[in-house]
Structure 1
Amino acid sequence: MLMRVNALLEDLSWRGLIAHSTDLDALGAHLDQGPVRFYVGFDPTAQSVHTGNLVQILLAKRLQDAGHRPFLLVGGATGLIGDPKESGERVMNTKELVHEWVDKIRAQVSGYVSFEGENAATMVNNYDWTANMSVLDFLRDVGKHFPVNRMLARDVVARRLEAGISYTEFSYVLLQSMDYRELNRRHGVTLQTGGSDQWGNIAAGVELIRRSDQRRVHAMATPLLTKADGTKFGKTESGTVWLDANLTSPYAMYQFFLNAEDAKVVDYLKVFSFRGREEIEALEQATLEAPFKRAAQRALADDVTELVHGRSERDAAVAAAAALFGRGALEELTEHTLTSVAREVGGGSFDGDASIVDVLVAGGVVDSRGAARRAVAEGGAYLNNQRVEDPDLVVGADRLLHGRFAVVRRGRKTVGVAERA
């Protein structure tokens, strides 16, 4: 059932999902005439999409839930080129690697929308209409419509000019613009969405269709999410938060969102959660009144982890977080979950049967054998949530979780995992 535009755009605006639009009133009228066919693109510049991409994926789901039809584009062609970065030229990956990543990303993003019903989603690859296009045809049919002075004025290009930018990356905007025109011609797509960092490319596609085909189409971009200090959201000390469980475990993802700042957590809930306005506002109030309970953070971590990895992995992440700090049974955690926890909290290995002193050092909760002995003497050392009283305790396989892991803790909050080699 088609959601009327007043409700749809009002909800998107309240969630902070509209940063730019070609003409919001005209887009509203167009959506009211729907269902509208829209597209969002993902370039395979890595083997997985990340939390920044998730904003666009979930926007596509919201639009589909409102009755519109998504086209999800994975850029097998544009991924070979790379959108200009402010930091410098991208490394050009091999065609074989890019095509491998295309398959992985197609599988990832397809899990968030429906491919059934009247507004079923469609997956497309711009390599299909780009690979066999000649240079002459490209220059005559696409390049002719792009004034160089306007291309030079693009922010990222202007900032790169002094250090240098290749013609390859300079021309990326032509390829992405051609995608919009091709989808408009082939499938009647009349709306493109994306992040605000792509707004120049998105708007250029709208202009190409106007210049070459004399058609009016629409575009909308979401703001880039940031932390309270203005830095980019979705980055940690260990790197990007990926949606691929092999790159960022469900436990790590849960912890990332659980640690969201009070000042930003409600903004993140609006973007990543499908909870309604009343419920989110109640969580906002709870955060103001009792921030130490972290009600909004728990809701956010629950929702995103379940959405990306499923309920069972979310439940395992919750159980692991509780068990690590003595509020649950470590013995009930699976080997898979403990492996993820070990990778996230850090720690080293020890050989064979080792003393608890060596295991505490290996787990990274103390920095020396002397400190380990003091922790035991003071009653602040724990092995698998059991207080250690004997500094000469030998940790054999029978004391390890799954015969491999020793979860060690100093005091209430310093936790590590040591693994038997």
Structure 2
Amino acid sequence: MMTVFEELTRRGLIAQMTHPEKIEELFNNEKVTFYIGFDATADSLHVGHFLQLVVMGHLQRAGHRPIALLGTGTTMIGDPTGKSDMRKMLTPEQINYNAECFMRQMSHFIDFSDGKALMLKNGDWLLKFNYIDFLREVGVHFSVNRMLTAECFKTRLERGLSFMEFNYMLMQSYDFLYLYQNYGCKIELGGDDQWSNIINGADLTRRVTGQEVYGMTFTLLTTKEGKKMGKTESGAVWLDPEKTSPYEFFQYWRNVADDDVINCLKLLTYLPIEEIEGMEKWEGSQLNKAKEILAYEITKMVHGKENADKALETAKALFGAGAQSDDMPSTHLAGGDLADGEISVIDLLVKAGIAPSKGEGRRLIQQGGISVDDVKVLDITEKLSLNNFEKGYVIIRKGKKVYHKVLLDK
């Protein structure tokens, strides 16, 4: 029988490890407590977080105990990793509200009953720290010279790195020490961009306790070209149905590139790996079937079977007979949105979130990518009048696959 470590490896989920053999031995032979940190920077988890929850799920199913650590303390500072500018500072109230939203969403994916997993907030210990004590207990173990060589700081040094952000690594490292001392947590997991923070946490724990702990990162969700996935023109792909509807969520995965679909199936679903490997030979229309399976599986995990069935039905209706459906993403216009009974197609694209700006709307029309009620828009100055809304709505199509219903409220 395949071990959980072999499963993670075969799916391509593991990126780097501090001690590969020891980590494999722990996951295969012990019941290990491990943790993943989530900074509460928004009021919903997004697709990048979802990958981390899937890894947690694999390990929990194998009998290990996850700690989901909500960064109510670290979010007060903000992780500089991967950011060209300082993150917007959030109030404690915003951070706690975001953490509550995360807690609700996470319990859909991880079993927190009977101590099978823990959900903790690092603000419970970080916010109580006296600064002088923190410097003496934690800061003394860090070399500034070494910190400056970390990838997460190097990219920021030219633009400017605030002293506040410079402390982030120390705080995240202390989390690992605290969780080891209080919960017997032996492994920290995270996305591969967190490698510097993770190895420093393991190092701090070893220096203070004399015990070895371990770090492992997993593959970031990127396309074959290395571009980060989980972003659309209108922003991130969220797990909250109010922010990204189940149909839009389904469509995002239905429209991934041919080159990426098998990788996404391996990383993001619990379909048996043998089944996915069997799809690696698929091509042409078979890849469309693979995309449908991917979209259905992930939508079912995030939004439930009923919503996944509805999204699949809607997609089939749209791509089959060109029919309209109530589950299509929609925007409501009020009479006041029409000036003298008219609205330009460009303004409509922006209002519906199909184009992020008028410039982008203009480009889409010039490239022949926009149709209204199945008629291609050829002129960037084209306007729609009340007559176009006689049936109460119009259907805008972008490219071949993005449909949006715009309703005119009487």
TM range (shorter): 0.7 to 0.9
Indicate whether 1:197 and 2:193 are aligned: yes
| Shift, 1:32, TM fit | 3.0
Match of 1:94 among 91, 94, 100: 91
Q: 1:394 to 1:191 in 2, by over 3 A?
A: closer
Write the letter of the residue equivalent to 1:103: E
Indicate whether 1:319 and 2:313 are aligned: yes
Match of 2:222 among 222, 226, 229: 226
Please list, as runs of the form range in 1=range in 2, the aligned pairs for 1:239-318 lying within 5 A after superposition. 239-286=235-282, 288=283, 290-291=284-285, 294-318=288-312
Q: Aligned residue pairs: how many?
A: 378
Contact 2:255–2:401 under 8 Å retained in 1:
no
Write the letter of the residue equivalent to 1:182: Y
Once residues 175 and 87 of structure 2 are traced to their aligned partners in structure 1, the CA distance between those partners, rounded to angstroms, is 21
Match of 1:115 among 112, 115, 136: 112
Q: 1:282 to 1:187 in 2, by over 3 A?
A: same
| Shift, 1:230, TM fit | 2.0
Match of 1:104 among 101, 106, 109: 101
Higher mean alpha-carbon deviation, 27-36 vs 203-212, is at 27-36
- 2:407 corresponds in structure 1 to 419
Contact 1:74–1:125 under 8 Å retained in 2:
yes
Once residues 412 and 272 of structure 1 are traced to their aligned partners in structure 2, the CA distance between those partners, rounded to angstroms, is 25
SS at match of 2:271: coil
Write the letter of the residue equivalent to 1:149: N
Q: For each residue in 1:6-61, what CA deviation from the matched residue of structure 2 results, as whole angstroms up to 9, or x when unmatched?
A: 62111111111111101110111122331101111100111111111111111001
Once residues 243 and 15 of structure 2 are traced to their aligned partners in structure 1, the CA distance between those partners, rounded to angstroms, is 30
Once residues 195 and 231 of structure 2 are traced to their aligned partners in structure 1, the CA distance between those partners, rounded to angstroms, is 22
Q: For each residue in 1:249-291, what CA deviation from the matched residue of structure 2 results, as whole angstroms up to 9, or x when unmatched?
A: 11111111001111111011001110112211232222x2x34
Contact 2:389–2:408 under 8 Å retained in 1:
no
Contact 2:264–2:294 under 8 Å retained in 1:
yes
Once residues 122 and 380 of structure 1 are traced to their aligned partners in structure 2, the CA distance between those partners, rounded to angstroms, is 51
- 2:382 corresponds in structure 1 to none
List gaps (5 residues or longer) in structure 1: 368-374, 383-391
Once residues 348 and 129 of structure 2 are traced to their aligned partners in structure 1, the CA distance between those partners, rounded to angstroms, is 57
- 1:175 corresponds in structure 2 to 171
Match of 2:42 among 46, 53, 57: 46
| Shift, 1:165, TM fit | 0.7
TM-score by length of 2: 0.83
| Shift, 1:229, TM fit | 2.6
Q: For each residue in 1:88-130, what CA deviation from the matched residue of structure 2 results, as whole angstroms up to 9, or x when unmatched?
A: 211111111111111111211222111235x611100001111
Write the letter of the residue equivalent to 2:118: T
| Shift, 1:293, TM fit | 5.4
SS at match of 1:262: coil
| Shift, 1:324, TM fit | 3.0
Once residues 287 and 276 of structure 2 are traced to their aligned partners in structure 1, the CA distance between those partners, rounded to angstroms, is 15
SS at match of 1:294: helix
Higher mean alpha-carbon deviation, 319-328 vs 248-257, is at 319-328
Once residues 252 and 74 of structure 2 are traced to their aligned partners in structure 1, the CA distance between those partners, rounded to angstroms, is 31
Match of 2:132 among 129, 133, 136: 136
- 1:23 corresponds in structure 2 to 19
Q: 1:183 to 1:262 in 2, by over 3 A?
A: same
Once residues 409 and 143 of structure 1 are traced to their aligned partners in structure 2, the CA distance between those partners, rounded to angstroms, is 56
Contact 2:67–2:117 under 8 Å retained in 1:
yes
When Rg is computed on C-alpha atoms for both structures, the one with the higher figure is 1
TM-score by length of 1: 0.81
- 1:156 corresponds in structure 2 to 152
Q: 1:360 to 1:301 in 2, by over 3 A?
A: farther
Q: 1:111 to 1:22 in 2, by over 3 A?
A: same
Q: 1:270 to 1:211 in 2, by over 3 A?
A: same
- 1:370 corresponds in structure 2 to none
SS at match of 2:321: coil
Q: 1:147 to 1:275 in 2, by over 3 A?
A: same
- 2:74 corresponds in structure 1 to 78
| Shift, 1:411, TM fit | 12
Contact 1:36–1:190 under 8 Å retained in 2:
yes
